[in-house]
Amino acid sequence: MKIEEVTSYLESIAPLDYQESYDNAGLIAGDSQGEVSNILISLDCTEAVVNEAVKKKCNLIISHHPPIFPTIKKISTTHAIGRTLISAIRNGISIYAIHTNLDNVFEGVNHQLATLLGLSNLKILAPMNNKLSKLVTFIPGKNSLQVMKALWTAGAGNIGNYSQCSFQTDGTGTFIPNADANPHIGKSGKISTVKEKRVEVIFPSVNTNKILDALHKSHPYEEVAYYLSDLSNPFQSAGAGMIGNLSESLAIPEFLERVKSKLEVKCIRYSGKTEGTVKRIAVCGGAGSFLLPHAIKSKADVFITADIKYHTFFETENKLLLLDVGHWESEVGTKNLILRLIQKKFHNLAAFLADSDSNPVNYYC
């Protein structure tokens, strides 16, 4: 099995188009056409992780955090990142990063964190914009169902908790086939008038090629009439952070103990209201301070994230409880998420969680 098969599968779940502008997700180093032996999964790709991959005969490392970002201009042995990449290349190990694109899909990093904390009725906290498109096409009435089924199967027509959504109106289509045409209806040189349905469906823009392929394969016409438009609507299936509810309200000390236990953290930095109960919880794995206004606007009782700066704690204005649980602690469950995705699809591939992957931050509590 080629590395490209594994990475293409991961990108079908977490498209690279969903990564943030500063990110560097994707194949960082290696040959996409190389054969996969074993896979090592880590939160970070370090020298220790590469050495572990060598020992376990893994030639593909799947890391949540990319070892290099666009700001890095040199790769040399004078820097840990350079040594990591050089060692991987020398040992024939490919490195693949699945970072903010996995953060931003619905069943990604934040879903994992929210589920671990026992939240339900989950929604994206800050949905992405400009990630949806609309297809309008025209189908002979008797063929409309077969085309619609093909479009739905390809991923069109999903809106929130609803599937197979479309808008259809009846109308009349006209055309004159020329001498080189092979019309499904009508004759060359003569005008045809056909009862057709105008069909409109929306779909994730990343699936445009898949949708058009389904349209052309299922549509009876030799020349399919359609047009596409990009939408600025919020995309409820992708975006930053997540918000949901506890099954019952908890006193704040009780909730803090739950967070400590579930995330296995030694201590929590927090600020904001400290009395009363909480039920509506917003989360963002990793550095999520930018989502604080969204959490407040969404009436969250608590916002859990990491890497919060001192002055940000003032911004709560006691409207919610703000928790900094640590970057590693909020995302370490991502390794298990990636492992499940791999095992679900590739039953004959051995995949391991990296033992050498550890939190670079120590605490004295």
Rg (CA), the chain: 25
Return the beta strands (E) in the chain as ranges: 26-29, 38-42, 60-63, 94-97, 120-128, 132-140, 167-175, 192-204, 226-231, 235-251, 269-272, 277-287, 302-306, 321-324, 350-353
Q: Which amino acid is at 188?
A: S
Element (H, E) at 53: helix 47-55
pLDDT tens figures, 285-294: 999 999 999 9
pLDDT at 71 over 80: no
User: What is the architecture, at CATH level 2, of domain 109-126+239-324?
Assistant: 3-Layer(aba) Sandwich (3.40)
pLDDT in the model for residue 365: 78
| Chain mean pLDDT for the chain | 95
Distances, alpha carbon 38 to alpha carbons 1, 5, 54, 66, 250, in Å: 11, 14, 10, 20, 44
**What number is the average pLDDT over the span 340-351?**
95
Q: Pick the closest to residue 197 from 229, 164, 156, 226 (CA basis).
A: 226
Binned at pLDDT 50, 70 and 90, residue 275 comes out as confident
CATH 3.30.70.100 applies to domain 3-99+333-353: no
pLDDT tens figures, 201-253: 999 999 999 999 999 999 999 999 999 999 999 999 999 999 999 999 999 99
Domain layout of the chain by residue ranges: 3-99+333-353, 109-126+239-324, 130-233
Q: Pick the closest to residue 252 from 282, 267, 273, 280 (CA basis).
A: 273
What are 81's two structure tokens? 């990142």
pLDDT at 70 over 80: no
CA distance 215 to 241: 34
Helix, strand, coil content of the chain in percent (nearest 5): 30, 30, 35
> Structure pTM?
0.90
pLDDT in the model for residue 30: 95
**What number is the average pLDDT over the span 316-323?**
93
**Alpha helices (H) in 228-321, listed in sequence order:** 252-263, 292-297
Binned at pLDDT 50, 70 and 90, residue 84 comes out as very high
**What number is the average pLDDT over the span 151-164?**
94
Percent of the chain residues past pLDDT 90, beyond the cut = 88
Percent of the chain residues past pLDDT 70, beyond the cut = 100
Binned at pLDDT 50, 70 and 90, residue 265 comes out as very high
CA distance 218 to 104: 32
Class of 130-233 in CATH: alpha beta
pLDDT tens figures, 12-62: 999 999 999 999 999 999 999 999 999 999 999 999 999 999 999 999 999
pLDDT in the model for residue 147: 97
Same fold across 3-99+333-353 and 109-126+239-324:
yes
pLDDT at 271 over 80: yes
CA distance 287 to 321: 17
Query: 223: helix, coil or strand?
Result: coil
